[in-house]
């Protein structure tokens, strides 16, 4: 049977670990890469590589024979400018360039809602289905800046080299929305929906550059799903199931109640939190 080969960077992270279990298919090989050892389970349908997305030689090896890259690797919240620049911006460039040199056809980039964290919740309420997925960058942190840079790099690699690039602006992808508090009732992307969305991005026919929101069809959703639906994504989950458990959680106040980035909008810039 011909094998589809997918490289997942950041495979030992929260999203990577959840996707490892969910993106397995007959006839598909998952190559799992992370700076932390993803753990080799000895499965014939997995390759495991340990190392950094900043290591160009390792990335060249990782991209050999690969059809699609799912780039989840990087720092997942605020950090120093030096670390963000190295891991998230330079690292994404290294991944994209290794993919280009290896002739990888498709790259899926895990961006974040924090690329547009300083967009107002009231703006989201104006759109027919919420904040459009192609809203221009309004980052709330250096981390958000790195996600905007990631999106720009993806656009460049599509336009220059014809690579198929899908950017997913992920909301809050955790087993459940509880760690995020009430905001998570709007921003949650369930693990199963995340897998459905990655499958839609893996099934594209024509090379393009597209930006979609990565959220479940939450009752309190503020991000548009129109763009992801065009890709074939159908969400089955809604964070509202957890609303009862969050009834006593504090309501947002100040900037966190005004902007879609929530608490990231007031987190100390450049400080790990």
Using CB under 6 A, list all residues that contact ligand 15L: 76-77, 112-114, 172, 180, 187
Least distance between ligand 15L and beta carbon 175 (Å): 13
Between 104 and 194, CB nearer to ligand 15L: 194
Least distance between ligand 15L and beta carbon 117 (Å): 8
Between 153 and 180, CB nearer to ligand 15L: 180
- The dihedrals phi and psi of 168, each to the nearest 5 degrees, come to -110, 115
Q: How many Cβ atoms sit within 10 Å of the Cβ of residue 189?
A: 29
Between 94 and 172, CB nearer to ligand 15L: 172
Q: How many Cβ atoms sit within 10 Å of the Cβ of residue 225?
A: 22
Q: What angle do CA 268, 148, 69 make, to 5 degrees?
A: 120
Q: How far apart are CA 187 and CA 53, in angstroms?
A: 27
Between 189 and 202, CB nearer to ligand 15L: 189
Residue 168, token pair as written in the block: 């997913």
Q: Which of 142, 143, 223, 233 is an active site residue?
A: 143
Least distance between ligand 15L and beta carbon 264 (Å): 6
The residue whose two tokens read 């090896």 is: 61
Known catalytic membership, residue 259: no
What DSSP state is assigned to residue 90?
I
CB 222, CB 130: distance < 8 Å? yes
Least distance between ligand 15L and beta carbon 183 (Å): 7
Least distance between ligand 15L and beta carbon 15 (Å): 8
Between 16 and 29, CB nearer to ligand 15L: 16
- Tell me how long the chain is: 273
Residue 77, token pair as written in the block: 């919240």
CB 105, CB 67: distance < 8 Å? yes
Question: Which residues does the annotation mark as catalytic?
Answer: 143
């Amino acid at each position: 049977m011909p094998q589809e080969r997918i490289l997942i960077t950041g495979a030992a992270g929260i999203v990577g670990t959840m996707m490892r279990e969910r993106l397995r298919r007959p006839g598909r090989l998952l190559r799992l890469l992370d700076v932390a050892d993803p753990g080799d389970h000895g499965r014939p349908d997995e390759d495991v590589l340990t190392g950094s997305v900043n290591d160009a030689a390792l990335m060249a090896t990782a991209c050999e024979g690969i059809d699609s890259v799912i780039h989840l690797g990087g720092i997942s919240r605020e950090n120093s400018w030096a670390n963000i620049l190295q891991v998230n911006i330079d690292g994404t460039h290294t991944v994209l360039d290794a993919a280009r040199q290896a002739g990888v056809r498709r790259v899926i980039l895990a961006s974040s809602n924090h690329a547009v964290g300083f967009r107002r919740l009231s703006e989201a309420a104006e759109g027919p289905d919420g904040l459009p997925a192609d809203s221009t960058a309004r980052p709330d942190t250096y981390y958000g800046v790195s996600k905007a840079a990631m999106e720009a790099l993806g656009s460049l690699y599509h336009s220059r080299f014809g690579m198929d690039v899908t950017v997913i602006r992920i909301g809050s992808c955790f087993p459940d929305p509880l760690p995020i508090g009430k905001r998570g009732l709007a921003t949650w992307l369930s693990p199963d929906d995340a897998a459905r969305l990655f499958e839609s991005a893996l099934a594209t026919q024509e090379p393009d550059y597209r930006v979609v929101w990565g959220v479940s069809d939450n009752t309190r959703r503020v991000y548009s799903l129109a763009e992801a639906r065009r890709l074939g994504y159908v969400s089955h989950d809604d964070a509202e199931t957890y609303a009862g458990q969050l009834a006593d959680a504090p309501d947002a106040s100040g900037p966190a109640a005004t902007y879609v980035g929530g608490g990231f909008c007031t987190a100390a810039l450049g400080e790990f939190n």
